[in-house]
Every structure is written in structure tokens, then in C-alpha cells.
Structure 1
């Protein structure tokens, strides 16, 4: 990245909390938002999920449910704004198109962003876009966010995603592949749902002395994705990590901890086991790693912004293991991304 981006605010709706503060507190406390749900197919089967508790009227359709979640998280992220919504651009990652998510049957992918903006009741910059690609794609949009602020008159960017794996379509798809966590599969994922957004600015806001700045981003495509018949050798994750530190910002020896959207699957664990020793070459007694999925399950496209939100909060509130963090994100379709963030202190 040519210059740092600053995380100035955040908003979230997850199974662990209806706002960012509650969600982060639950993750810090290592709480679990898991519960058992009885499935209609196969009839009577029980699946562990991380489901947001809410009134049934908000879930009349999957499309409206995702729109409601996204609008709520955007509203929270904008609460501390110093800029008008018309000078704010939204960069949104909805559920990946290959999944045939039931929300796409309610609201066409091309109309999804417009539906979210309408639900907020505000007008946003015309450069706002929805981008396919999952959690890693969200991190990959950081470069685009900087371009919008430098070249297109945007004063701030809301970067985030919304997704729900708690639906019959994803249950069936993941079940056929043997990827769901259950009594016969300890190394499986727990379907979750969430919306998460971070508010990005070019310069630090307010008079606070400490700020969270994103210094580098890396993006790469893994050929052996979880959808293929082969295990990943970690090549794309390694490439994304190396690109993220290939600049004037923090380098590999500076990294103090990791935030990952690893979801407990055997595939995910194998990839990290291979890629990390090839990147983290500096001797460390321990490399602290946070896995939000242990609290809120696999939240798909929302995981990128949530990782940035958690990283920024830990740096700003001084409970992080150190001043520099890398966020590692993997999408189902093979996209891999990394973002390096550091605590910056004003003199």
C-alpha cells in the first residue's frame, strides 16, 4: 500500500453480540455462541450452529435477513462518523455466488447492495460496490478503498461483509462434502452468520494518541481450494503474507500475533501448518493466534471485516500481545489475503 489506512470505527451483528462491543467482549472471554439445531433434512438430524437470536419476523426471507444484518452493522459503524454518508462509499462482500445462497433467490446479486443502502435510510457515494469472493476478497478491497479516497472524492469507506451459513442450502452442500462439525467429525466447521463493517479513513480521527493503521495487503489465489480434491500446500497463503510485508511498513520479524478465520476444518489446519513455518522465520517462543470462529462459527464473507475490527480494538485498547498484527483470511473459492496492522502513537 502506498500509505496507511486507519480504522476509525466498526459495527457488527453476530451470534455472540448485536454490536461490535458485545461481539469483541465475547471473543476476548472465549465464550461460545454455539447451539444445537434440529434439521428438516435428514429429518431429526442435529447440527451445531452459531445462530443470531432474533424475532422470526426479521427472518421472513434469507435475503431480507442479510439486508437487515448489514444495515444494522453499517448504522453502528457510522455512529462516530465526522463525514456525511454522501461522501462515504460502501465496499461490500455478500455470500459467494457459487454457493447459490437462498438470499440470492430473494434479492438478485446485482440488486443486493441497493437493498442494503435502502435499508439504512441514507444515501452513499456512487462508487459503492458489492464484490464477489468471500472473506479474503474483503481484505483485497483495501487497496480499492485507498484509491477511492485519493482519486474519487470519497472521504471514508465502509468495508465489510454479510453472510449466513445457517440455511438448508449450505447445510446440504457442506454435509455432502463431510465438512460439518458433528459427533462423527470433530474437525469440521460450525455454520455461523454475521455482518461486520469497519470505517476506514486516510488520516487519524480525533485527538486520541493511539490509532490502528493498516500498512500492507497481500492477495493470492490458491489452486487447491477446499472445493477441490487436494489439500492446500499453503502456496497462496504464503504469497499473500509475503506481499503484505513487502513494503515500508512492518516486516515479518515485527509481527506479534495473528488473527485468522480458520474454522476448525482439517483442510484449514493443514494449510496453516504448512504455510506458517515457511513465512514466520524469526524465532518466537509462541505466536499468539486468535480464532473468532471458536466463538461465532464460520461467518463466511463477513470474516474479513471482523478480523480487522478485532485487530484494531486489541491495538487501541492495549490488550494485544504486541503492537503489530497480521490478519490471515481464506475464502472457500481459494482466494487468500493478508493484512498487516500496527498501533501508531501520535507525539
Structure 2
């Protein structure tokens, strides 16, 4: 990467915490937000498991639910810019969304993009909202695009985020039919969740000029593709994720150095666990312990397109509060349609600028 790009703000809304600090603390403490849905049942008549946002009426569905999830997390990520509110800086947003699926048509994606663009009262103005409709990997796909444009000088700072909700009757039935819903029918399913995560990212020059602290620096991003997909008869040997991880780590993790912290979207599905197992066999030399990862899906459910921005938030909180295992964190995510993404963060916070008092 030409120049490190800094994360200067984070925001989160999850089933276990409505802000970044509370969500990260809940994950660290192992607090779960898993319940039975109040009225949805699976093919056996048992209540469907889920991890909902307790503050949002379960009757609210579709794009409206996504927009409600996104608003608080985006506002929190913008808080470091309150001191420059009067300048009304215009910055772009790169937004990760689910892949098109039952219960999430393209119209919803367009409505979410439009709804987020109309948020009022932010300390900045959103100059554009670019949607990445790519599922679990969409957040890191968005980050990759943002970093590239930041390094090209297209702008000095932007927002990167993702929002997800599986809690739609058509989506839940689709998961049940495909034996992906954890419960009595499937032994290799996951708990559907919902959440939003956003990060404020900027160049080092911009960070210093605004007098902001760095929560972490993005050292590398990589995007790849897996041809042998889940829900097919093909046997996945992790080639796509292995190549993506290697591309993210090469030239960043030097001889004698190791990745100390890992955040990923392993969610209980056998496919995902086995995929990472093949990566471990190929690339264990890059890690202190490739099996010592944090995968919060067992606590806040699978949060799909919100996964990577929330992992970035968790890494920043771990560094800020002193419980990160070391200075280098890797995030990786896998989308159902084959997109694979990984990123490396330098999680030793940059020195505070002279005169910094936030």
C-alpha cells in the first residue's frame, strides 16, 4: 500500500450493544444476544433462532429496518468531526450491503442507499453513497475501493460501512429451506443477526491537520474469488481464501513477524470452518496461532454485510483499551457467491498530534 490509511472513528449498532464501546465490551465478555423469534417458525414448527436489535419493532422490515440500523452507527463514526461541523465538509460513503437474495431485492438496496444519503444533522455532508452489494465481503470490498481512491488523491477522508438484517420472513424461510438455519433441521447452520458498522478513514495528512488520533492504520487489503461455492456439490479446498490472505500478507508481515489478532466470519457452517482450515495448513507461518480467532457470530449472530466494519471496530476497541494481543490484526470475510476479502491493520495507535485534547 502506498501510504497507510488511518481509522479515526468507529460506530456500531449490534444485538449486544448499540454503540462501539458497549458492543466490543459485550463480545469480550461473551455476552450473547440470541433469542427465538417471536412469531417465525421453521419447517418443523420450532421458533426460528435469531439475534435481533431489541430496540427495533420486529414488524418493521425491508429497507426501513436497514436504514434504522445504519443511522446510529454512522452518526457515532462521525463524532470525531464534531469540531469541524461548521465547515460542513463533504465526504463520500462506501456502503456494504447483502447480496441479492429472497427478502432482499435490488429495490431494497437502492432504497437503503437513498435513505442513508438523506441523513440529516451529521457534522459532515455525504457527497456520494456508493453501494457494494456483495454480502459478507462487501465491507472490505468497500474499504479496498476507498483506500485506492484515498491513495490516488480523489479525496482525503471518507466513511466505510456495512449494514445487514436477515430478519425478513422470505430471507429466513430461504435459509431454512437451504438448511443454513441453526436449529433442529441443520447441524451446520447459523443464527441470523442484524447490525451496522461504520468507520471514518482518512489519509495521515488529513488526520494530522484535523488533530485526530489514529485508532488503527490499514496496511493492506486484498480481494479474491472462490470458484467452489457453498450450497453446491463442489469440494472447497480454500484456494480462493488462501490466495486472498496471502496477497494481503505478502510484503506486510515481514520475516520474523506474525499476525497476532484475527477477526473473521466463521458462523457455525461447516463450509466456512473447513475453508479456514485449509488456509491454516497453507499459511500458518504468518500467524502466532491461526486457530486463535475472534468470530462473534455465536454472540451477535451472523451479521453478513456488517461483518468487516464491525471487525474493524473490534480491533480498534481492543487496541484502545489495551487487550489486543499484539500490533497486527487480520480481518477476513467470505461471501456466498464467492467473493473473498482480507485486510491487515496496524493496531498500535499512531501518536497523538501535538496539542491533541480529545
TM-score, shorter chain, exceeding 0.5: yes
Shift in alpha-carbon separation, 1:340–1:285, aligned structure 2, 3 A: closer
8 Å contact from structure 1 (residues 94, 130) kept in 2: yes
Of the structure 1 ranges 66-75 and 201-210, higher mean CA displacement relative to structure 2 is found in: 201-210
Structure 1 counterpart SS, 2:116:
helix
Aligned counterparts, 1:211-230, within 5 A: 211-230=215-234
* Correspondence for 1:274: 278
- Once residues 143 and 93 of structure 1 are traced to their aligned partners in structure 2, the CA distance between those partners, rounded to angstroms, is 12
- Once residues 138 and 298 of structure 1 are traced to their aligned partners in structure 2, the CA distance between those partners, rounded to angstroms, is 14
Shift in alpha-carbon separation, 1:61–1:288, aligned structure 2, 3 A: closer
Structure 2 counterpart SS, 1:17:
coil
**Is 1:232 aligned to residue 236 of structure 2?**
yes
Shift in alpha-carbon separation, 1:264–1:67, aligned structure 2, 3 A: same
- Once residues 83 and 252 of structure 1 are traced to their aligned partners in structure 2, the CA distance between those partners, rounded to angstroms, is 42
Q: CA deviation at 1:32?
A: 1.0
**Is 1:343 aligned to residue 344 of structure 2?**
no
- Once residues 283 and 161 of structure 1 are traced to their aligned partners in structure 2, the CA distance between those partners, rounded to angstroms, is 27
User: What is the count of residue pairs matched by the alignment?
Assistant: 343
- Once residues 83 and 108 of structure 1 are traced to their aligned partners in structure 2, the CA distance between those partners, rounded to angstroms, is 33
- Once residues 111 and 152 of structure 1 are traced to their aligned partners in structure 2, the CA distance between those partners, rounded to angstroms, is 30
Structure 2 counterpart SS, 1:273:
helix
8 Å contact from structure 1 (residues 8, 201) kept in 2: yes
1:88 to 84, 88, 91: 91
8 Å contact from structure 2 (residues 9, 200) kept in 1: yes
Shift in alpha-carbon separation, 1:289–1:101, aligned structure 2, 3 A: same
Shift in alpha-carbon separation, 1:176–1:251, aligned structure 2, 3 A: farther
* Correspondence for 2:186: 185
Q: CA deviation at 1:39?
A: 1.8
8 Å contact from structure 2 (residues 43, 176) kept in 1: no
- Once residues 150 and 208 of structure 1 are traced to their aligned partners in structure 2, the CA distance between those partners, rounded to angstroms, is 19
Shift in alpha-carbon separation, 1:254–1:120, aligned structure 2, 3 A: farther
Q: CA deviation at 1:128?
A: 2.9
Aligned counterparts, 1:303-322, within 5 A: 303-322=307-326
* Correspondence for 1:23: 23
Structure 1 counterpart SS, 2:63:
helix
* Correspondence for 2:355: none
Q: CA deviation at 1:140?
A: 2.2
1:302 to 306, 311, 318: 306
* Correspondence for 1:246: 250
Q: Which runs of 5 or more structure 2 residues have no equivalent in the other structure?
A: 353-358
* Correspondence for 1:260: 264
8 Å contact from structure 2 (residues 197, 310) kept in 1: yes
TM-score, normalised via structure 1 length:
0.89
RMSD of aligned alpha carbons: 2.6
8 Å contact from structure 2 (residues 98, 136) kept in 1: no
Q: Which runs of 5 or more structure 1 residues have no equivalent in the other structure?
A: none
Deviations for 1:130-173, whole angstroms, at most 9, x for unmatched residues?
11112213212223213433446533211111111122122111
8 Å contact from structure 1 (residues 219, 239) kept in 2: no
- Once residues 15 and 290 of structure 2 are traced to their aligned partners in structure 1, the CA distance between those partners, rounded to angstroms, is 30
